[in-house]
Chains A and B, each alone.
Chain A
Amino acid sequence: MTARQLSKIAKRVGFWALIVLIMVYAVFPFYYAVITSFKPSSELFRVELWPSTWHLGNYAQVLTQSSFLRAIFNSIVVAVSVVFIALLLGITASYALGRVRFRGRSTVLLVILGVSMFPQVAVLSGLFEVIRTLNLYNNPAGLILSYTIFTVPFTVWVLTTFMKQLPMELEEAAIMDGATPWITITKVFLPLMWPAMATTGLLAFIAAWNEFLFALTFTLTDTQRTVPVAIALLSGGSAYELPWGPIMAASVVVTVPLVVLVIIFQRRIVSGLTAGAVKG
């Protein structure tokens, strides 16, 4: 073997070693969460990479708790509503911001972006007052309202970028065909914007699904909680025990739908993200 061949092999080995390192770094915490969820509480603190026994007790315990099931239901309602509202507002706003020439358009865009830059804590107290005034405290509708505040700016930005890239003549062709702006949006633009819609919709869904601070602050009772709060408030046998097993089981249960969604939409996401990034 020549030196060149050797160095080639060495480079390849180094490359794959690096990939493995990154994979371990990224995936190991989740892997450990998953195997922990299959351990009985007595074995929780024995460090092993592959559990000797597969124990389903944690899942049984979590899934038989009616408050947890209720929390999953609440999360679904909240996340789906947030996605729906964000996309509806996003697509109509992006038509106006991307297509209609009006004074102060870029100011509006900057304000929208600025709003989404505030940390949640900054608006927490103000938002609390709003929700109290609207009588939405301890009500999933209050969560939908507050999540929408943060997802709409993001949605509007991505969709506006995408909308600007659609050729002007396409819209003019629709106008010549007698289409109103609403028809143009729904019949001509929407079918072309699916990748962007899937991307932003999924990101909005994930944001709403995982949100913790607002959910903790704006809800009070078990029946109104969403999953992240419900998991955090899972209690063990005594005040001195943190029920790691059930917590991990619950985490796995609520993460699986997200992973499935991402896998279903992954192609769309990629094409959506690059479509938004390459030109324009």
Chain B
Amino acid sequence: MASVTLEKINKVFGRDHIIDDVDLEIGDGEFVVFVGPSGCGKSTLLRLIAGLESITDGDLRIDDTVVNDLPPRERGVGMVFQSYALYPHMTVYDNMAFGLKLAKQSDETINDRVMSTARILQLEELLHRKPKALSGGQRQRVAMGRAMAREPRILLFDEPLSNLDASLRVQMRNEIARLHNRLGSTMIYVTHDQVEAMTLADKIVVLNGGHVEQVGSPQALYQRPATKFVAGFIGSPTMNFMPAQLLAKDDHGCRVLAAGVGELALPQDASAQPQSAGLSIGVRPEHLRLAEPSGDNRFEIVNVEYLGNEVYVYLDPKEGDTLLIHRSEAPSQWEEGQHVALVPDTQHVHLFDDRGAALDLPAQRQAA
């Protein structure tokens, strides 16, 4: 168990700046998820922590020791790979014992560690099988067992579930969550799937283009995204964005004219924004109400998806080509081809400036 500190970490491949000044604190026993679109540098960041890539600039500390130049085996980290990367010619037992043998442990210790790891992961029946005789989920567990057997201080997961089918993925996600509760060790997990991130993490790190967009609990990221990017990335279906113009601002909030929707009075503090600035509002699908059309507030329903417990209504956005989404509990009165007015729930509307940064709520400003 250990804490990890990243201080101004940079990684440059040739001319590509893959990781740009990343600062991050990972506490002892925390489950941290790196999430972001492909190519955002999340896997590279994990490999920098693992020691599989060299750090171009900055300090990486594990428990106050700078480990930049230590090889992986001396960092006390274990890693689970996306393709499992089990040794195909070794049995499950030997796969898990390999690292211990290399660490010159006694046969007795090796046996104890492998058996106890196998017990935790329910691999006892499979110890004498080769990887090719295992199912996907079993291979996944062996890969975790191999990483755990050496009792690393930090466990790293590189998209471990993306090779599994959907139902198994949910099951393994649960197993990993329970494993973390049971072991209490520090875990760092990379995924591009925001559902995995939301369900597993104590703390989510959203990466975009090599820099950290926001760090926070799943709840904080969902309710108070710091940037438009985070707002659009976290949550499914995604947040609706509409251009808006700043009309007035005072101590109690501001008034904006949202394209097609009309004037909205919002609690956000827009004092730093110039008069009639071009902003955009973000509304989660569940915070968008539909009503009978009135005046200019008139949107056409282009599709209705029925999911059993809830209904997604897709609307023609008039500007741009990303459909707007309304979510409500089933059954729904709305049908394709109808025209409706959009009524955002102003308590839950997010407001972003022209560079994508969220405008603070007064309460946040007071707290800070």
Measuring CB to CB, which residues of chain A are less than 8 angstroms from any residue of chain B?
167, 169-170, 172-179, 183, 187-188, 191-192
Cα distance A127–B339 when bound, in Å?
90
Binding stretch for chain A, among B83-91, B264-272, B360-368: B83-91
Q: Given the known inter-chain contacts A176-B50, A178-B103, please indicate yes or no for A188 contacting B87, CB distance below 8 A.
A: yes
Question: When the two chains form their complex, are residues A169 and B82 in contact, meaning their CB atoms are under 8 A apart?
Answer: yes
A178 vs B152: C-alpha distance when bound (angstroms): 12
Most buried by B among A172, A176, A179, A188: A176
CB pair A169–B85 under 8 Å, yes or no, is: yes
Residue in B closest to A171 when the chains form the complex, CB atoms: B85
User: CB of B98 within 8 A of chain A?
Assistant: yes
**B-chain residues with CB within 8 Å of residue A169 when the two chains form the complex:** 81-83, 85
What is the CA–CA distance of A147 and B356 in the complex, to the nearest angstrom? 68
B89 touches A192 (CB 8 A): yes
Cα of A178 to Cα of B98 in the assembled complex, Å: 9
CA distance A188 to B71 in the complex (A): 19
Chain A residues positioned under 8 Å from B52 (CB to CB): 172, 175-176
Q: How far is the CB of A9 from chain B (nearest CB, A)?
A: 44
Pick the residue among A167, A173, A191 that contacts B146 (CB under 8 A): A173
**CB-CB contacts of B290-328 with A at 8 A, as 1s and 0s?**
000000000000000000000000000000000000000
CA gap between A181 and B21 in the complex, in Å: 32
Asked if A176 and B102 sit within 8 Å, CB to CB, the answer is: no
New A-B contacts (4) at CB < 8 Å, excluding given A172-B52, A174-B98 = A169-B82, A170-B85, A172-B79, A173-B79
How many B residues touch A, CB cutoff 8 Å? 24
In contact, A173 and B81 (Cβ under 8 angstroms): yes
* Least Cβ–Cβ distance between B26 and chain A, in angstroms: 19
By a CB distance below 8 angstroms, the chain B residues around A188 are 87
From the candidates A170, A175, A176, A178, name the one contacting B87 in the complex (CB within 8 A). Answer: A170
The chain A residue sitting closest to B50, CB to CB, is: A176
B79, A178: Cβ atoms closer than 8 Å:
no
Interface of B (DSSP majority class): loop
Residues of B near any A CB (own CB < 8 A): 50-52, 71-73, 77-79, 81-83, 85-89, 98-99, 102-103, 146-147, 150
What residue in chain A is nearest B73 (Cβ atoms)? A178
Contacts of B87 in A (CB 8 A): 170, 173-174, 188
Q: Chain B residues near A172 (CB, 8 Å)?
A: 52, 79, 81, 85
**A246–B81 Cα gap in the complex (Å)?**
63
User: Is the pair A177, B89 in contact by a Cβ cutoff of 8 Å?
Assistant: no
Complex contacts, A174 vs chain B, CB 8 Å: 87, 98
In the bound assembly, the distance between CA atoms of A170 and B84 in angstroms comes to: 8
The secondary-structure label for the interface of chain A is helix
Find out whether the CB atom of B88 lies under 8 angstroms from the CB atom of A176.
no
- Give the CA-CA distance A179 to B71 in the complex, in Å: 10
Chain B hits for A178, CB < 8 A:
72-73, 99, 102-103, 150
Q: Is the CB–CB distance between A176 and B72 below 8 Å?
A: yes
Least CB distance from B187 to A in Å reads 15
Nearest residue (CB) in A for B98 is: A177
B-side contacts of A173, CB under 8 Å: 79, 81, 85-87, 146
15 A-B contacts (beta carbon < 8 Å):
A167-B83, A169-B82, A169-B83, A170-B87, A172-B52, A172-B79, A173-B81, A175-B73, A176-B52, A176-B73, A176-B77, A178-B73, A183-B102, A191-B89, A192-B89
Residues of A within 8 A of B102 (CB): 177-179, 183
A189 to chain B, nearest CB (A): 10
Residues of A within 8 A of B98 (CB): 174, 177, 179, 187
Chain B residues with Cβ below 8 Å from A177 are 73, 98-99, 102, 146, 150
Nearest chain B residue, comparing its CB with the CB of A190: B89
Bound complex: CA A173 to CA B98 (Å): 10
CA distance A205 to B353 in the complex (A): 73
- Contact residues in A for B150 (Cβ distance below 8 Å): 177-178
Other-chain contact of B79, A167, A170, A176, A191 (Cβ < 8 Å): A176
Instruction: Report the Cα distance A179→B81, complex, angstroms.
Output: 16
Q: Which residues of B contact A176 (CB under 8 A)?
A: 50, 52, 72-73, 77-79, 99, 147
A175 touches which of B72, B83, B86, B103 (Cβ 8 Å): B72
Q: Which residues of A contact B82 (CB under 8 A)?
A: 169
A117 to chain B, nearest CB (A): 33
B113 to nearest A CB, angstroms? 13
Shortest distance in angstroms between A17's beta carbon and chain B's nearest beta carbon?
43
A192 to B130, CA, bound (A): 13
Nearest 4 A/B pairs, CB to CB: A178-B73, A177-B99, A169-B85, A173-B85
Least CB separation from A169: chain B residue: B85
- Cβ-closest chain B residue relative to A178: B73
Contacts of A167 in B (CB 8 A): 83, 85
A268 CB, nearest partner CB in chain B, Å: 15
Q: For B78, list chain A residues within 8 Å (CB).
A: 176
Q: How far is the CA of A61 from the CA of B115 in the complex (A)?
A: 65
Residues of A within 8 A of B71 (CB): 175
The CA-CA distance from A114 to B128 in the complex, in Å, is 47
Q: Closest approach, in angstroms, between the C-beta of A279 and any C-beta of chain B?
A: 15
Q: How far is the CA of A167 from the CA of B146 in the complex (A)?
A: 18
User: In whole angstroms, how far apart are the Cα atoms of A177 and B85 in the complex?
Assistant: 12
- In the assembled complex, the Cα of A154 lies from the Cα of B172 at a distance in Å of 46
State how many angstroms separate the Cβ of B231 from the closest Cβ of chain A: 34
